[in-house]
């Protein structure tokens, strides 16, 4: 069992990364959230991924995550009928682990079904099977940004900051997450201040 990898990033694509561990390159399937973290790492900077090894008759696939929480949620997602590793990764690429957890706990099947390949019936089943299995102790989801696509309805300074970041070339998901983190840090609710603070997380 490969529980984690620690090494440098050799290569990153939209869905995979190659992590060099003492000269051996491990290809890892990654979420958009983890991809963003790896892209921010320096060329020779050491990174750590928490991993899950999927073993099938025809292949062994390694999945990697920036945080233990994201890995643990992935492991819960793949227990749901109709959601395999690819579906779980699609969900964690459409929204952060915290936002997906919030959507599950609040029964928001509409948001969950926006992930590629996840229909409303599957989203409803996911909520039914996982709602009582997720431990939200100590979590504060009052400011969660659930949607991370073109239909995100952020308002005021927050929405303007997200729009400004997307014009700079960042994805809406990355922008929403960065602005949300800036607000959590107590940044004034003004567009310019939020934008400056959010850029530190990009």
Q: Do both 73 and 115 map to the same domain?
A: yes
pLDDT at 138: 44
Considering its fold, how many domains does the chain have in total? 3
Q: Which residue among 65, 95, 113 closes a domain?
A: 65
- Going by the DSSP 8-state scheme, the letter that residue 11 receives in this structure is E
Q: Clarify whether residues 193 and 163 are in a common domain.
A: yes
Q: What is the CATH number of the domain that holds 86?
A: 1.10.150.20
pLDDT for 123: 93
Do residues 46 and 87 share a domain?
no
One domain for residues 56 and 8: yes
Distance from chain centroid for Cα 63: 13
135 belongs to a structural domain = no
- In this structure, are 54 and 75 located in the same domain? no
What are the tens digits of pLDDT across the range 102-142?
A: 889 888 888 898 888 899 999 999 999 998 888 654 454 44
Q: Which phi and psi angles does 180 have, rounded to 5°?
A: -60, -45
Owning domain of residue 80: 69-130
**DSSP per position, 62-112:** EEEESSHHHHHHHHHHTTSTT--HHHHHHHHHHS-HHHHHHHHHTT-HHHH
Q: Are 76 and 85 in contact (CB under 8 A)?
A: no
Range with the largest mean pLDDT of 9-13, 135-139, 184-188: 9-13
Rounded to whole angstroms, how far apart are CA atoms 123 and 48? 31
Question: Is residue 59 located within the same domain as residue 85?
Answer: no
Burial 185-199, CB ≥16 within 10 A → b, else e: eebeeebeebbebbb
Residue 145 lies in a domain: no
Question: Is 136 domain-assigned?
Answer: no
Coil, strand or helix at 155: coil
Q: Which of 130, 146, 167 is the last residue of a domain?
A: 130
Rounded distance, CA 29 to CA 51, Å? 9
Whether residue 151 lies inside any domain: the answer is no
Report pLDDT digits (tens) over 38-80. Answer: 998 877 899 999 999 999 888 899 999 999 999 999 999 999 9
Q: Does residue 146 sit within a domain?
A: no
Nearest Cα residue to 161 out of 187, 114, 194 = 194
Taken as a whole, the chain contains a residue count of 202
Both 162 and 122 in one domain: the answer is no
Last residue of a domain, one of 80, 115, 130: 130
CATH number at residue 23: 2.40.50.140
């Amino acid at each position: 069992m490969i529980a984690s990898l620690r090494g440098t990033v050799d290569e990153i694509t939209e869905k995979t990364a190659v992590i060099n561990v003492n000269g051996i390159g491990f290809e890892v399937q990654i979420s958009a959230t983890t991809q963003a973290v790896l892209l921010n790492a320096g060329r020779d900077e050491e990174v750590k991924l928490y991993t899950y090894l999927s073993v099938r008759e025809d292949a062994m696939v390694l999945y990697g995550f920036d945080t233990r929480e994201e890995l643990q949620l992935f492991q819960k997602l793949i227990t749901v009928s109709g959601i395999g590793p690819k579906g779980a990764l699609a969900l964690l690429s459409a929204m952060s682990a915290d936002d997906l957890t919030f959507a599950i706990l609040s029964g928001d099947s509409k948001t969950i079904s926006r992930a590629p390949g996840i229909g409303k019936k599957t989203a409803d089943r996911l909520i039914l099977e996982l709602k009582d299995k997720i431990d939200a102790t100590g979590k504060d989801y009052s400011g969660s940004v659930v949607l991370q696509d073109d239909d995100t309805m952020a308002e005021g300074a927050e929405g303007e900051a997200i729009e400004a970041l997307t014009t700079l070339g960042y994805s809406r998901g990355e922008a929403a997450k960065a602005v949300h983190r800036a607000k959590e840090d107590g940044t004034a609710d003004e567009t310019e201040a939020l934008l400056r603070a959010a850029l530190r997380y990009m």
